[in-house]
Amino acid sequence: MQRPAGIISLPKIPELKKRLLFTLGMLTIYRIGIFIPIPGVDLQALREFFAMAEGTLLGLFNLFSGGAMENASVFALGVMPYITASIIMEVLSSVFPKLQELKKQGELGRQKINQYSRYLAVFLSFFQGSFWALSLEQTFSATGRLAEGGLTFRISAGLTITIGTMSLMWIGEQITKKGIGNGISLIIFTGIISRLPGTIGNIITLLRLGEVEPMNLVMGLILMIFIVAFIVYMEASYRKIPIQYATRVMGRKLVGGVPSYLPIKLNISGVIPPIFASAILMFPLTIATFVNNPVTQKIASFLNPLSPIYNVIYFVLIIFFAFFYTGIIFNPYDIAENLQKAGAFIPGIRPGQQTSEYLDKVITRLTLVGGIYLGFVCVLPTFFMGAMNLPFSFGGTSLLIAIGVAMDTIRQIEALLYMSSYEGLVGKEPIIRGRTAY
């Protein structure tokens, strides 16, 4: 049986080559942009500060921004404001009926919601940017203040960062249109991956200095490979619910063709639960930063990311949010309704109430497993850094995102390859071609 053209042949197909090059080009622009700083920041002091903050939540944010934060770049916030805005819109749209209606109106409705997300993103990035500028003013590192203060600074920082984020969003959309895969995801992915060389260099240095046990390192590497494989396996897992169409019958039987099914991912909510969970956990910490009193400080010390209490609470919160978020985006009642509208049903189960209950049961079980898996993966970094004494964080949301994006991109590339694989399938004559693209 003929197999589709493999990935190796990717460069040979002109269309794909174009797209690939475009994507790489755009991402390069992004990486270069990292080094454009916002005005008024003492870069040296900043870098030192981040060197110290490696393992903390702040360090995590830096990771997300692809190192933009420690460079005080205009891309400091990355596309995070947009992601946050989309999540907020997502949650809001299942609460407010007005937005719910919009969603149901197909393309135009979705575009409108998208538009709102964008406005929200502008708003968020301005405020987050100014806030960050404020915090820069108040933070000191060994060399002194990170930035000179003043309203002008805050506003200009806010503006420049907003522009930066908007540009990134635009770049992301261009990639989605003219390149391969989903642009925004790729940008986040690139950001995460860009830490890698630095981290590796770090480790090598530490290895030479003897601060790290080689044995630990090797074990850590093996473990890493297993974990990656595990995550890929979990992310690619689906529960396939068989579907039958009442409107697609011919003659006496339902014949030929492909059996239909409704796939439900094991991990429906993606990386949202850990993001929510850490947001919640950040809350008391933030208060502790501003309100200096023994109670808050004690709580803050408990909530040190490396402490066991933190991790337990984190784990539980993740599972909770897995259910919470899944419940929001995956409403069994809506799905049952949509099935009905499409004239489909699950064999043996009546549409409407019964279907909705069945789906609910299935989803609950899946979410439990998925939530546990998610929690496990997110608690990993602590394990790595704490128990194994390895000075880098591996696991958690960044790994999930990276793997998710990679898998999705590969799927898209595959699709492109399939379309080009029809050449020479049967017979040696060239296929009569018209004015179609590929």
Report the interface residues with another protein, using CB under 8 A.
1-2, 4, 105-108, 111, 238, 243-265, 268, 330, 335, 337, 340-345, 347-353, 411-412, 414-415, 418-419, 421-422, 425-429, 431-436
Taking residue 389's Cβ as centre, other Cβ atoms within 10 Å add up to 13
How far CA 324 is from CA of 96, 136, 210, 272, 355, in Å, comes to: 17, 35, 46, 10, 21
Q: Which is nearer to another protein, 116 or 345 (CB)?
A: 345
CA distances 131 to 45, 76, 143, 188, 328, Å, are 18, 12, 22, 22, 30
Give least dist CB 407 to another protein, A.
11
Query: 3-state class of 264 per DSSP?
Result: strand
Query: Minimum CB separation from another protein for residue 140, in Å?
Result: 45
Smallest gap, in angstroms, from Cβ of residue 123 to another protein? 18
Q: Which is nearer to another protein, 107 or 215 (CB)?
A: 107
Report the nearest approach of another protein to the CB of residue 39 (Å): 29
Cα–Cα distance between 77 and 103 in angstroms, integer? 28
d(CA 46, CA 142) in angstroms, rounded, equals 10
Q: Which structure tokens are listed for 173?
A: 């959309």
Q: Taking the complex as a whole, how short is the minimal distance between the CB of residue 325 and another protein, in angstroms?
A: 13
Nearer to another protein, 210 or 259 (CB): 259
Closest approach, Cβ 431 to another protein, in A, equals: 5
Backbone φ/ψ region at 352: left (φ over 0), alpha (ψ -120 to 50), beta = left
Q: What is the CA radius of gyration of the chain?
A: 25
> 4: exposed, middle or buried (C-beta count within 10 Å: 0-12, 13-18, 19+)?
middle
Task: Give min distance, CB of 292 to another protein, in A.
Answer: 45
Angstrom CA distances, 39 to 87, 92, 155, 345, 397, stand at 30, 36, 11, 60, 31
CB of 419 to another protein, least distance (A): 6
Distance between CA atoms of 31 and 130, rounded to whole angstroms?
A: 23
Cα–Cα distance list, 270 to 101, 184, 367, 397 (Å): 25, 15, 11, 9
- Residue 53 or 336 with smaller CB distance to another protein: 336
Select 115 or 389, whichever has its Cβ closest to another protein. 115
**Cα distance between residue 148 and residue 139, in whole Å:** 11
Concatenate the DSSP letters of all residues of 27-39 into one string. Answer: HHHHHHHTT-BPT
CB of 360 to another protein, least distance (A): 14
147 DSSP assignment: B
CB closer to another protein out of 244 and 296: 244
Smaller CB separation from another protein, 127 or 261 = 261
Of the pair 257, 294, the CB lying nearest another protein is at 257
Q: Which residue, 106 or 210, has its beta carbon nearer to another protein?
A: 106
